[in-house]
Amino acid sequence: MMKFELGCHLVYSIYEPSTFVFNIGVVHNQHQQVEQEKLQIYPRLEIEEYNAPFSGNRYLRLNAPKCQMEVSYQATVKVNHCFQDPHQIREVTPANLPLEILPLLLPSRYCQSDKLINLALSEFGNLSLGYSRVTGICNWIYEKVTYLSGSSNPHTSAYDTATERVGVCRDFAHLGIAFCRALNIPARFVTSYAYGLNPPDFHACFEAYLGDRWYLFDPTRLVPQTGIIRIGTGRDAADVSFATIFGTVEMNEMSLSMQPLPDPNTGKVGQPFSTTEAISIS
Amino acid sequence: MMKFELGCHLVYSIYEPSTFVFNIGVVHNQHQQVEQEKLQIYPRLEIEEYNAPFSGNRYLRLNAPKCQMEVSYQATVKVNHCFQDPHQIREVTPANLPLEILPLLLPSRYCQSDKLINLALSEFGNLSLGYSRVTGICNWIYEKVTYLSGSSNPHTSAYDTATERVGVCRDFAHLGIAFCRALNIPARFVTSYAYGLNPPDFHACFEAYLGDRWYLFDPTRLVPQTGIIRIGTGRDAADVSFATIFGTVEMNEMSLSMQPLPDPNTGKVGQPFSTTEAISIS
Amino acid sequence: MMKFELGCHLVYSIYEPSTFVFNIGVVHNQHQQVEQEKLQIYPRLEIEEYNAPFSGNRYLRLNAPKCQMEVSYQATVKVNHCFQDPHQIREVTPANLPLEILPLLLPSRYCQSDKLINLALSEFGNLSLGYSRVTGICNWIYEKVTYLSGSSNPHTSAYDTATERVGVCRDFAHLGIAFCRALNIPARFVTSYAYGLNPPDFHACFEAYLGDRWYLFDPTRLVPQTGIIRIGTGRDAADVSFATIFGTVEMNEMSLSMQPLPDPNTGKVGQPFSTTEAISIS
Amino acid sequence: MMKFELGCHLVYSIYEPSTFVFNIGVVHNQHQQVEQEKLQIYPRLEIEEYNAPFSGNRYLRLNAPKCQMEVSYQATVKVNHCFQDPHQIREVTPANLPLEILPLLLPSRYCQSDKLINLALSEFGNLSLGYSRVTGICNWIYEKVTYLSGSSNPHTSAYDTATERVGVCRDFAHLGIAFCRALNIPARFVTSYAYGLNPPDFHACFEAYLGDRWYLFDPTRLVPQTGIIRIGTGRDAADVSFATIFGTVEMNEMSLSMQPLPDPNTGKVGQPFSTTEAISIS
């Protein structure tokens, strides 16, 4: 068990009445218990909340007038990671996957798995099946793709990154997902708060469905995996942008914070750590 | 009210144990009442059925051994079209759209609306808002894109078709969807049985969300709109392929049939017709 | 006849021994007579000059050590434009084109004319043949593509611009060239000094081969055509970059200047002007 | 010294007056001595020949009426290969390359070397410089790209093949060229007659400029290198299509033949062989 206080603060100049759909709230599930949570909007605006049925993603819609708007989200979250021995975790064939998971095998806007099948088979087709094959994919990405801020743009997709070999966390995740799907391993995009990211920012990684659940993978190796708190999951970045905006708007400020809190029982502060065990928070 | 008998017959050579996910069954909803329905598989195989929650799409999973497999689907369907005066149908702003519909504004694998915004604004930005703008999009596609069998492949996307200006029904639908989403009109891909298609085949068109429902649009003008019976809806073709196959398989035969039946009350056979009214079957 | 004094000043920080190929010198031909010309490099370095056979492009190669390097080019140029009545200028069929011009019908890195044939035929196939068809292409680009600094990058090509509808002078020229070649009109990329460009910068436009020579076209309408002094011509921007650099180098400064000088006979300063006549300087 | 008799026979149905530019004649140079050569066209048509200055490519232009046209080319060629020890052959830096060769470092339509720099550096950046690095590139392509007839189309480029990992000889050559240029090694596309190709067809491979000349590389390993007789060289396939056609034309037949002839001095027939020595015929 670990406990974190985390949050974000966003400031926008809104030049005409505009609609925002935010996806910044931590997902509530058995692994992530939210003890306290506070959302503040200035000016005060009506908020509609929509919890997506499968993913549990928490979308907030705001219709804002011309104004300067501030959005603050703050939460205290207890995380119970599920740790597993990677050697015991097997791939599940399409014959046996839960039917509602099959869509996560399909290509999506930024994960053109249909065009990466030969590449995936050539690079990973001979690896032994199971959790370790997805680790192999992450190692490949870590070794062959350069992490470089500003090197990609919102249109950049896995098809580009496979060849251009440079990108940011979002691109690393898209490529990991595309490779998994090309090998018939369901995979989905994860947005998160992440402890230790420097400079602080929203983080992106991915989950692959193996055995009987979704396991977390982060090919960037930028942060300790146990410091990742899940916000949303989707087919790719399009589904879980922290802010989808309809209108003429400028973002003036974005700051994120995250710190471990003491365990109420032991009084000890749990430091996020890296691990070679398999981790699930879904 | 119209009534149709329709079906398909598919024959596959299966060279190794393979998994099929079929999406060939007519959707059941208030507009499409299925009176009789029969699915036959030779050899006899266990079938799992999954009705997707939002779309109502009916997916069938089959795990087949090495064999020659035949799949036959036959149904009798009563269709009650919802007809509306196009002039009364308005666009709905992102501020007012039902929240569960917002994902249909996002770009998808074959509908890269994020890259078509300038083109869409330049071509359709000055049209009056409402149903007629989507008609304008369909007219543009019909006039500027050549329908040519075999001119595209499974990787072809709206981004390609916007420039290459040639394609089949699937490409026409993808481009219509991408343009709609680029203009903040939710749109989704529709697969269907279609009366009068020559040669008989599965058909693709699209729906746009306007007013308070999904309206049907077919930029190919290949068939009378009232002869379209909906199978599945999705973000794009990836979601609703009539057969998603995992394994080494060859399709040997595909035949479709569709014919209007007499109305039991009047005894009269209703002929599908074209109309300038807005039609919804969702 | 017009006369200009023009030049550029470039400053680089060179972090390791590097090779530069500059293409900044005005081309010498019957329409452009260079009266004075001065190239200065600090520190003093050996320069190799290569005048490409067909184009007359003047490439300068410099091998520079780790240093701060300044390159200054200054020239006085007399321009005799060839003006023609556009209505008299016809397209030349591939059957009659000079054979050495045929390569300018082929697709190139940034001008994928092979993928734009349908689009070009659909938009320009019905225009009357001749000079006015290329004017039609330029008008189309001017009207449908937004000029926006920073909207494209060095990888952007005509195929992108055709759909994304935004770009800079280089992208406008690439699209014009691609459309021409798709219609079997030879076209080539032109880099130039241009009077009145604000902020001052190297300019890009294109030439199409019509009648018996290369005519100048500028779909950006940013400057008066008679104020364009040609540097290089090539298949596309790759051929005539003002600086192709091999090494780790940063550009610290780039400034350009251009001003009309008095005619020695009349003493009158000729002001560059826009015209609807056809202009050739090749 | 080897000697070959080779040729091609092409039959076209021409539906309207059309222009052809053929590039089917063997290049004449110090390594390829053409002893006899015969070109026959039915019906008899005027032919214009253009020998391109640098490459020596021999283009033939024909303006044909509506007709059935047959083109036959037959030649007897003596080849003197230049064999070199690969270990002695070094790369030439851009600082020292002959200036007229620099354009072969630039990206072209089907060889987007500008987008493959990171991939090339990651895969080949650590190899020792020289001839063996290009061999490394060819081995990589041979091992990672599947040769499959019909898997690509005329729009397929190196950027696609790098990721899709399937193609034909043309795609193999484009990828080899793009990798070389990305590493600052000049490279050009080669079309050829090739002994032992089954089924007989025109062949494509590439040349890289190393040491003081152009060396031949064929990543397909489909034929013995000494059985390759050069037709044309260019930036990529666009420059040296065996037939560039303007008009509505159907190709009905294409047959090629090639056989070794006895050495007039020894009477012995030289069999083309594979070799690990470096070969140049340019």
Per-residue confidence (pLDDT) for residue C270, from 0 to 100: 82
Q: What is the ipTM of this complex?
A: 0.96
Let me know: does C252 contact C11? Beta carbons within 8 Å.
yes
Using the predicted structure, report yes or no on whether residue A269 has a pLDDT greater than 90: no
Mean pLDDT calculated for residue range B160-175: 96
CA proximity to A254, closest of A7, A2, A1: A7
CATH of the domain at A39: 2.60.40.2250
Residues pairing with D166 in the sheet: D146
Do D102 and D34 have their domain in common?
A: no
Burial degree of D52 (CB within 10 A; 0-12, 13-18, 19+): buried
Q: Which of residues 230-249 of B touch A (CB under 8 A)?
A: 238-239, 244, 246
* Cβ-based contacts of D152 with chain C (< 8 Å): none
Backbone phi and psi for residue D143, each to the nearest 5 degrees, phi listed first: -80, -30
Residue C264 has pLDDT above 80, yes or no: no
pLDDT(B1) > 90: no
A75/D162 Cα distance (integer angstroms)? 45
* B12 pLDDT tier (thresholds 50, 70, 90): very high
Contact B220, B169 (CB under 8 A): yes
Interface test with A, best of D112, D117, D118 (most A CBs within 10 A): D118
**Do B253 and B174 lie in a common domain?**
no
Closest approach of A179 to chain B, Cα-based (Å): 15
Chain A positions touching B238 (Cβ under 8 A) are: 106-108, 114
Residues A73 and A90 in one domain: no
Taking an 8 Å cut-off on Cβ atoms, the answer to whether C21 and D102 are in contact is yes
Q: Indicate the residue of D99, D107, D108 with minimum beta-carbon distance to C48.
A: D99
**Does A158 contact chain D (CB < 8 Å)?**
no
Residue range B246-252: mean pLDDT, rounded: 96
C269 touches chain D (CB under 8 A): no
Is the model more confident about B271 or about B106? B106
| Domain region containing A175 | 83-239+276-280
Q: What is the least distance, in Å, from the CA of C108 to any CA of chain D?
A: 4
Tell me: do D98 and D232 sit in the same domain. yes
- DSSP letter at A269 equals B
A107–B238: do the CB atoms touch at under 8 Å? yes
Peptide bond just before B199 cis, omega within 30 deg: yes
Query: Which residues of C fall within a CB distance of 8 Å from D21?
Result: 94, 102
C163–B164 CB contact, under 8 Å: no
pLDDT tens digits, one per residue of C140-157? 999 999 999 999 999 999
Which chains sit next to D, with 3 or more Cβ pairs under 8 A?
A: A, C
Q: Say whether D99 and C50 touch across the interface (CB within 8 A).
A: yes
pLDDT value at residue D269: 86
- Closest Cα in chain C to B117: C164
In a domain, A232, yes or no: yes
- Residue C159 contacts B, CB cutoff 8 Å: yes
Q: Are residues C112 and C196 in the same domain?
A: yes
Q: What is the mean pLDDT of residues A62-80?
A: 97
Tell me what pLDDT residue A268 has: 87
Convert the pLDDT of each residue in C208-257 to its tens digit.
Answer: 999 999 999 999 999 999 999 999 999 999 999 999 999 999 999 999 99
- Determine the average pLDDT of the residues in B188-203: 96
Q: Taking CB atoms and an 8 Å cutoff, what residues of chain B touch C146? A: 118
C111/B contact by beta carbon, under 8 A: no
Instruction: Select the residue of B19, B48, B103 nearest A239 (Cβ to Cβ).
Output: B103
Whether pLDDT at B268 is above 90: no
**DSSP code of residue A177:** H
Residues A96 and A8 in one domain: no
CA distance C159 to C177: 11
Pair of tokens at residue A177? 């997902």
> Between chains, do C99 and D59 touch, taking CB under 8 Å as contact?
yes
The enclosing domain of D94 has a CATH number of: 3.10.620.30
Residue D181 belongs to what H/E stretch?
A: helix D169-182
C39-97 pLDDT per residue, tens: 999 999 999 999 998 899 999 999 999 999 999 999 999 999 999 999 999 999 999 99
In a domain, A181, yes or no: yes
Cα of D20 to nearest chain C Cα, Å: 8
Out of D115, D144, D165, name the one closest to residue A164 (CB).
D115
pLDDT at position A160 is 95
* Whether residue B130 sits in one domain with residue B153: yes
**Do residues D175 and D75 both lie within one domain?**
no
pLDDT for A265: 81
**Choosing among B117, B119, B152, B159, which should be mutated to test the C contact, i.e. which has the most C CBs within 10 A?**
B119
Between chain C and chain D, how many beta carbons pairs sit less than 8 Å apart? 78
Cβ neighbours of residue A35 under 8 Å, at least 6 residues apart? A3, A76, A77, A78
Distances (CA, A) of B223 to B202, B280, C151, D13, D67: 12, 16, 42, 35, 39
Name which of C62, C70, C59 is nearest C12 in CA terms: C70
Q: How far is C274 from chain D (nearest CA, A)?
A: 34
Domain count, chain A: 2
Residues of A in contact with B52 (CB under 8 A): 100
pLDDT in tens, A185-222: 999 999 999 999 999 999 999 999 999 999 999 999 99
Tell me the one-letter amino acid at D243.
Answer: A
**Is C267 a domain residue?**
no
On whether the CB atoms of residues C97 and C186 are closer than 8 A, the answer is yes
A59 at the B interface (CB within 8 A)?
yes
Do residues B226 and B78 touch, judged by C-beta distance below 8 A?
A: no
Averaged pLDDT, B138-164: 95
Contacting C residues, span 137-156, partner chain B, CB-CB under 8 Å: 144, 146
Three-class secondary structure of residue B134 per DSSP = helix
**Rounded Cα distance, A83 and B31, in Å:** 49
Whether B268 is in a domain gets the answer no
Of C118, C122, C165, the CB nearest to B119: C165
Q: Which residues contact B176 (CB under 8 A, 6 or more apart)?
A: B134, B137, B138, B141, B187, B206, B208, B217, B219
Residue B263: pLDDT band by 50, 70, 90 thresholds?
confident
Q: In order along chain D (282 residues), what is the average pLDDT of each group of 10 residues?
A: 95 97 96 96 95 94 97 97 96 96 97 96 96 98 96 94 96 98 98 95 98 98 96 97 96 96 85 94 93
Res. B159 pLDDT band, cuts 50 70 90: very high
Q: What is the mean pLDDT of residues C156-183?
A: 97
Residue D138 sits in the same domain as residue D230 = yes
Nearest to C103 among D107, D112, D239 (CB): D239
Q: Closest-CA residue in chain A for B99?
A: A50
Identify which of A212, A266, A231 has the alpha carbon closest to the alpha carbon of residue A101: A212
The shortest CB-CB distance from A115 to any of B19, B50, B155 is to: B155
Backbone angles phi, psi at D3, to 5 degrees: -135, 135
> CA of C257 to nearest chain B CA: how many angstroms apart?
34
Which of A118, A146, A159 comes nearest D165 by C-beta? A118
For position B98, what pLDDT does the model report?
96
| Among the partner residues A50, A94, A95, nearest to B99 by beta-carbon distance | A50
Q: Which of A59, A100, A184 sits opposite B99 (nearest CB)?
A: A59
What is the arithmetic mean of pLDDT over A97-106? Answer: 96
Task: Name the average pLDDT for chain B.
Answer: 96
Report if residue B253 sits inside a domain: yes
B264 has pLDDT over 80: no
Residue D282, domain member (yes or no): no
> Based on the domain organization, do C75 and C183 belong to the same domain?
no
- Contact status of C53 with chain D (Cβ, < 8 Å): yes
C116/B159 touch (CB, cutoff 8 Å), yes or no: no
Residue A183 sits in the same domain as residue A233 = yes
B179, B111 Cβ separation under 8 angstroms: no
| B163 to C122: CB separation less than 8 angstroms, yes or no | no
Q: D107 vs C109: CB contact, 8 Å cut-off?
A: yes
Give the closest of D116, D144, D166 to A163, CB-based: D116
Residues C230 and C213 in one domain: yes
Kindly state whether residue C229 falls inside one of the protein's structural domains. Answer: yes
Q: In this structure, is residue C265 part of a structural domain?
A: no
Count of A–B CB contacts within 8 Å?
80
Pair D207, D138: CB distance under 8 Å: no
